[in-house]
Structure formats: C-alpha cells, structure tokens
Structure 1
Amino acid sequence: MDTTLLIMAAGIGSRFGGGIKQLEAVDENKHIIMDYSIHDAIEAGFNHVVFIIRRDIEEEFREVIGDRIEEICRKYKVSVAYAFQDIDDIPGELPDGRTKPWGTGQAVLAAKNVLHTPFIVINADDYYGKEGFRAVHEYLVSGGASCMAGFVLKNTLSDNGGVTRGICKMDDCNNLTEVVETKNIMKTTDGAEADGITLDTDSLVSMNMWGLTPDFLETLEKGFNEFFECEVPENPLKAEYLIPTFIGKLLEQNKLSVKVLRTNDTWYGMTYKEDVAAVKESFRQMLKNGVYQEDLFSDLAIK
C-alpha cells in the first residue's frame, strides 16, 4: 500500500541560515533533524514525501533541502511533492492586520490535492525516533483510519525550561478520549510538575505525529469553514486552526476514533537555544551505537 510522509515545514524562516532551528545541523555530516525523519519514514515503509512550505521560500527550500532529498529519494523509489500554505487560502476575507499563519489544520489542508494515500503528519523540526513511524505505518496499512503516536512524557522534557504538552486520556482499548493541553511542564529531580502540580511522567503525550487518511481531509475542511464562521470573528488576528484542538472537538462529539500507539523513543526538539548541544550529543550517541549510519541513508534497501 502506498503511504505518505507529510512534513509541515511552512514555519521555516523566509531566509535560510541565521539560526533557523529547522536547519541546525545535528551531526558532523551536516544532517538536520528532517533528514532523520525522512530516513525513518522510508525505513518504515512510507513511499511518498510531501513538504508543506510557503511560496516565498520555495526556491531557497529546494536549494538547501528539497533538491538534495529528491535525489536521495529517487534511489528508493520514493516520490517527492510540494504543497504551499498561504495565509490568503481561506474561506473568507483576510482580516485587516492579520499576519499570523492559520495553524497546523490549514497547513494539512494545503496538501489536500497531493494527498491520495493514508499519511503520517509531522513537524519539520522534531525528532520522533523510529518506533512511531513503524507503528503508525503498520496501523495505516492494516486498515486503520486515525491514530496518534503517544510519547512517554518523561521522554519529551527539556532540561532548559518549561514545555507545553498535550497529555492524553484513553479508554481501556487505547482509544483517545481527550488531549489535555498542559503548559509550563518543568523537569524536576524526581519527575515533572506544572504550576506546582506533580505529573505522572509515564503519561502519554501528543507530539503532533498523527496517522490519517484522505477521507479525514473532508472533515478537516468542513471544520475550517466553521472555524472561520465562529472563531475568527471573535479573534481575527490570533485565532488558529490546530489539528489537536480540532480532533479534540471531534472526540467530544463522538465523530472520530483515534487509536493511541505508544512509542518509547525519546523525542528531541530545540525548544530552547540551550537544547542544541544536548540534541547533538544524543545524535552522536545514536551514531556511535549504530542506530544510524554515518552515511545516513546507506542502510536503506534500494528498490
């Protein structure tokens, strides 16, 4: 079965370099986190890659990332396509003074014309590990419709400050019932807390790694129209259409079932500038331990 890796990269800055975190090399061979995600997705069985970017960065993105990835993907019979997120691509008028993007929900909708297979959606600048890609791919090719990789909270924390995580609530069959957005989660000597409340560090959290099907896009688009009717008028400059929030509403209304697939891999991101050194050291250790090869894609089977 054909499956697609959908990478939300529209948040990359309009000029490359200058400390753009998505382009921070994490190993001595100048690979970025996105390279590792693409490697892990291909290894898991995904055979299409779609980048969601903005039109104004297309030329630079292709030069720095896209052309290189396309050349690699050709060896493995993996296609590469682009979708473009546009602040004006909305079911209504752009509010005066609005400069903020419309969020991850609109980003995914931007790819609706190139998404023809079950797909996994990820952030460009997050490292998810191999297990999540394998679990989501297996679920999708087995006929599953909607799923989410659930990361163990303690494997997603920063040593350098508070983070926001969507803590998952599930039923006895690991179906998602609610995502509780929890802000300012701080690592402590014996676990984690948020605003003085101790948290269970073995809880599963959402890191925006979703497995979905093209059918979901119709529901997502309908929700975007409703968002513009109901929420944008109340907060025209800052309202955002976010996938976790929208899925949460569908769960409340019993209009969607989402399976939570536990992954024990450590999530890495560069939330703080101080995280960069620790992330690079983690990749150094993974390379040393043989999790990845120095020549990153060399261990994949050429088709």
Structure 2
Amino acid sequence: MMNKPTLLILAAGMASRYGSLKQIDSFGPHGETIIDYSIYDAIKAGFGKVVFIIREEFLEKMREVFDEKLRGKIEVDYAFQSYDLTKFGIDRIIERSKPWGTAHAVMSARDKVNEPFCVINADDFYGTDAFVKMAQFLTTDVADDKMALMGFQVGNTMSDYGYVSRGVCEVDENGHMKSVTERTNIYYTDDDQGNRKIVYEENGVKHDLDPKTRVSMNFWGFTPKIFDVAAGMFQDFVASNADNPKSEFFIPTVPDYMVKRGMADFKVIPTSSKWFGVTYKEDKAMVQQSISALLAEGAYPEKLF
C-alpha cells in the first residue's frame, strides 16, 4: 500500500495586494476559509497529511484556526519560510523585505515531506475535480521522472480588478508540458473593436493570450526529488539575484528546467473545475457568491468540519 499523498499549502505570502491576512479570512457561511474547502476536498480525495508553509510569526494564529477542527480528520504540520538561507547551503546574509518566492517556499518543507505531494496556494479555490485527479495521479502514476500539474484555462482564472500572475504552459500532443513560463502581468483589456481580451505584458509590450491557454495555478504533483533539483537551482538564483530585492524564485522555473533537460515529464492534467481566488479585496464578494452557489447545488455541506 502506497503512502497517502500529502497536501502542501503555500500560506506564507504577504498579501500586499489584498491588504490583510487573506489565508484566514472567512468566505463560507460558518467562517470557512478558502483553505478549508481545499482541505475538505483533499481529505475526500484521499490525502493523508496537510503541511502549511507559513511565516513563523503566523504559527499561533494558524493553529488557532485549523488545529482543532482538523484533529482526527487529517494529520497537520507546519513549515516556516524564512530569510535564513543557511539551510540551503548559502552562508551569506541578504537583506530583503519579502521572501524568495514560491519555489523557495516549497523547499522550506523539505524536512516535513517524504512522500508524493501536491502543492497549492492558500488563497485559491480549485474545486473537487482537481483534487480527485491529482490524488489519483499521486497514488498510481507519479515517479521521480513523471510528475504533473493541474492545467486550468486562463480564461477561467482571471480577476476583474487588476493583473494576475500565471504559469503559462506550452503543451505537446500527448498532454505533456513542453515549457511553462511565469507571466506576472496578465489582465483584461479591450481590442480595437471594444471587445474584451486577455493580454500579458512584458517589458512594456502587450501580447494576446488565448482564453483556452492552459496555465498553472500552482497546483503541482511532485515527488521529494523536486527538493534536490530546486536546491541546486536556488543557489544559482541567489548568486545571480542577491542585489535584486524583488526577484522571486517561482515554482514553474523548476519543472521547466527539468523538462528541458529530459529529467522528467510533466503531465498537464486538464480539469473541469472553475478556479476562483482572491488577489484583490474586491474579489471577496465574487468568491463568496461562487461558494454560495456551490453550497446551493449540494457540492459541499453548509458546515464543512
């Protein structure tokens, strides 16, 4: 019997665009967080453990919110994303006001995870279908040279209130990722006829993006092999970006590196789930409405735990 997969939740972000600690903001009728819905889906899909990656100063607050209600339902643990780089073999001190990005956050959980695992964002609602498909992959197909990401259509992942960041995927005819590129400035705009379209901006130039383009919403299926690969890349990244306080080591750069060097295949698992999330404070009402609609159709019980 294979170990049950683990769910790794990225919850250390600063929430600078949102304006408060959105990881524990309430969206459901009984104060449920978005994370609660993800964990509920994960438990039903067969995950055995959840590890929250947080900043250490959030620990008490997170325990208050999650420990009691999850007791007996799923194993819970915490890992800390910090500015201390010594545990990654880097002995220099670099002053920064924000952490080193999502791939660095994943590396912070190295001592907590020994089995196949899935990575998700704390503030994104992914839907049941995505967790069922990822649990299936992580218990039957995953290997050190065979990992996965959940492929959402970019048109289903936009905010009406500003720009979003997405890992834009190039997918081959077999459904495997050829490349994934982090685009940090994707937004709606109007074309010459006044029709709404999606673009990403890079170096001041706008590029059209087909709404059906598969993107990564940081919903990845990995083995612990990823920690070793990321650690080597991170040392190079820090050496190159020590003087750039805004540089971030994003998760998609690691799979992209592995694919381009023939180290692993990444299956892009298509999902019918409609993603929604809270990048901006104004997104909150839409997320609450979406959750209410799912409750009305019976997708979730009114009280989760």
Smaller-chain TM-score bracket: 0.7 to 0.9
The answer to whether the Cα contact below 8 Å between 2:14 and 2:98 also exists between their aligned partners in 1 is no
Give secondary structure in 1 for the equivalent of 2:149: strand
Give secondary structure in 2 for the equivalent of 1:243: coil
Name the amino acid aligned to 2:39.
I
The answer to whether the Cα contact below 8 Å between 1:95 and 1:237 also exists between their aligned partners in 2 is no
Over the aligned positions, Cα root-mean-square deviation in angstroms equals 2.2
**Which residue does 1:202 correspond to in 2?**
212
The answer to whether the Cα contact below 8 Å between 2:41 and 2:127 also exists between their aligned partners in 1 is yes
Aligned partner (choices 4, 7, 10) of residue 9 of structure 2: 7
Alignment of 1:218-233 (within 5 A): 218-229=228-239, 231-233=240-242
The answer to whether the Cα contact below 8 Å between 1:40 and 1:133 also exists between their aligned partners in 2 is yes
Q: CA deviation at 1:176?
A: 0.4
The answer to whether the Cα contact below 8 Å between 2:85 and 2:91 also exists between their aligned partners in 1 is no
Instruction: Decide which moves more: 48-57 or 218-227.
Output: 218-227
Pair 236,170 (structure 1): closer, same or farther in 2 beyond 3 Å: same
Using the alignment, how far apart are the partners of 1:69 and 1:226 within structure 2?
41
Give secondary structure in 1 for the equivalent of 2:252: helix
Using the alignment, how far apart are the partners of 1:68 and 1:37 within structure 2?
17
Q: CA deviation at 1:225?
A: 2.5
The answer to whether the Cα contact below 8 Å between 1:150 and 1:205 also exists between their aligned partners in 2 is yes
Using the alignment, how far apart are the partners of 1:241 and 1:52 within structure 2?
16
Give secondary structure in 2 for the equivalent of 1:60: helix
Using the alignment, how far apart are the partners of 1:100 and 1:194 within structure 2?
24
Aligned partner (choices 56, 77, 83) of residue 81 of structure 1: 77
Q: CA deviation at 1:148?
A: 0.1
Using the alignment, how far apart are the partners of 2:7 and 2:259 within structure 1?
24
Pair 130,87 (structure 1): closer, same or farther in 2 beyond 3 Å: same
Using the alignment, how far apart are the partners of 1:11 and 1:197 within structure 2?
28
Name the amino acid aligned to 2:228.
E
Using the alignment, how far apart are the partners of 2:223 and 2:130 within structure 1?
17
The answer to whether the Cα contact below 8 Å between 1:168 and 1:176 also exists between their aligned partners in 2 is yes
Using the alignment, how far apart are the partners of 1:247 and 1:293 within structure 2?
36
Contiguous gaps of at least 5 residues in structure 1 = 298-303
Pair 212,69 (structure 1): closer, same or farther in 2 beyond 3 Å: farther
**Which residue does 1:130 correspond to in 2?**
128
The answer to whether the Cα contact below 8 Å between 2:188 and 2:196 also exists between their aligned partners in 1 is no
The answer to whether the Cα contact below 8 Å between 1:102 and 1:240 also exists between their aligned partners in 2 is yes
Name the amino acid aligned to 1:263.
T
Listed one character per residue, the Cα deviations across residues 129-166 of structure 1 (whole Å, up to 9, x for unaligned) are 11111111111111323100000111101222332322
Instruction: Decide which moves more: 110-119 or 95-104.
Output: 95-104
Using the alignment, how far apart are the partners of 1:118 and 1:99 within structure 2?
32
**Which residue does 2:148 correspond to in 1?**
147
Give secondary structure in 1 for the equivalent of 2:298: coil
Give secondary structure in 2 for the equivalent of 1:122: strand
Pair 112,22 (structure 1): closer, same or farther in 2 beyond 3 Å: same
**Which residue does 1:66 correspond to in 2?**
66
The answer to whether the Cα contact below 8 Å between 1:158 and 1:187 also exists between their aligned partners in 2 is no
Listed one character per residue, the Cα deviations across residues 149-206 of structure 1 (whole Å, up to 9, x for unaligned) are 0001111012223323222111111110111333232166555334554421111111
Listed one character per residue, the Cα deviations across residues 74-111 of structure 1 (whole Å, up to 9, x for unaligned) are 1x3x2111111221134324445323211112211111
Using the alignment, how far apart are the partners of 2:254 and 2:272 within structure 1?
26
Using the alignment, how far apart are the partners of 1:28 and 1:187 within structure 2?
34
Q: CA deviation at 1:242?
A: 1.6
Calculate the TM-score normalised by the size of structure 2: 0.87
Aligned length: 287
Using the alignment, how far apart are the partners of 1:214 and 1:181 within structure 2?
22
**Which residue does 1:192 correspond to in 2?**
198
Name the amino acid aligned to 2:258.
L
The answer to whether the Cα contact below 8 Å between 1:192 and 1:199 also exists between their aligned partners in 2 is yes
**Which residue does 1:216 correspond to in 2?**
226
